Structure formats: structure tokens, C-alpha cells
Amino acid sequence: MFLLAINADDKVLWQIALGMGLVVVIVVIALLTLLVRLVRDIDVGVASLWTVTKRLAQNTTGLYQLAGTASVLRALREELIRHDKLLSEPGDER
């Protein structure tokens, strides 16, 4: 069996390197955990937004029918004016 001769200074440097590696691994784990939480929050927000936009699309499917409403209302107003004139003529007392 072959053993490497490591003096005390080399052992300290290795311990420092391993400690720094451990710190880096812990920081990476923390950052990845933070990233996963952030992505989940974004996913929940996007799902909520998608639901709202689908409901909005369902609520606005009949808006094209409003285009003809103005002409119908004009005709109704004219008809009401004619009825008002006929009913308010003098000499037509009931």
C-alpha cells in the first residue's frame, strides 16, 4: 500500500478547499431552491392569467352582435316618435 506523505500545511489547504466546496454546494442548493419556488409562483400566476383570459374570451364572443344594435335602436326610436305624435295629436281625445 502506498501512502502519500501530507504535511500539516497541505492538510489545512485541503480542508479549506473542501470547506469552500461545501459552501459552494450549499449556496447552489439554496439558489436552486429559490429558483424552483420562483418558477412555481410564475406558473401559478400564468395559470391564473390563462383562466381569466379564457373567461374573458367566453364573455366577449357575442360582441359582434352589438354592431347591429345601433340601427335597431334608431328604428325603434323613430317608431316611438311616430307613436308619440299620433297619440299627442289634438282632437284625439279619449
pLDDT of amino acid 76: 94
Q: Find all residues with CB under 8 Å of 6, minimum gap 6, and list them.
A: 14
pLDDT for residue 70: 85
Rounded Cα gap, residues 10 and 28, in angstroms: 27
> Higher-confidence residue: 77 or 9?
77
**Predicted confidence (pLDDT) per residue in 31-79, tens digit:** 999 999 999 999 999 999 999 999 999 988 888 888 888 889 999 999 9
Place of cell 466546496: 21
Q: What is the DSSP letter of 59?
A: H
* Location of C-alpha cell 326610436: 77
Instruction: Check residue 66 and give its pLDDT.
Output: 82
How far apart, in whole angstroms, are the C-alpha atoms of residue 37 and residue 24? 20
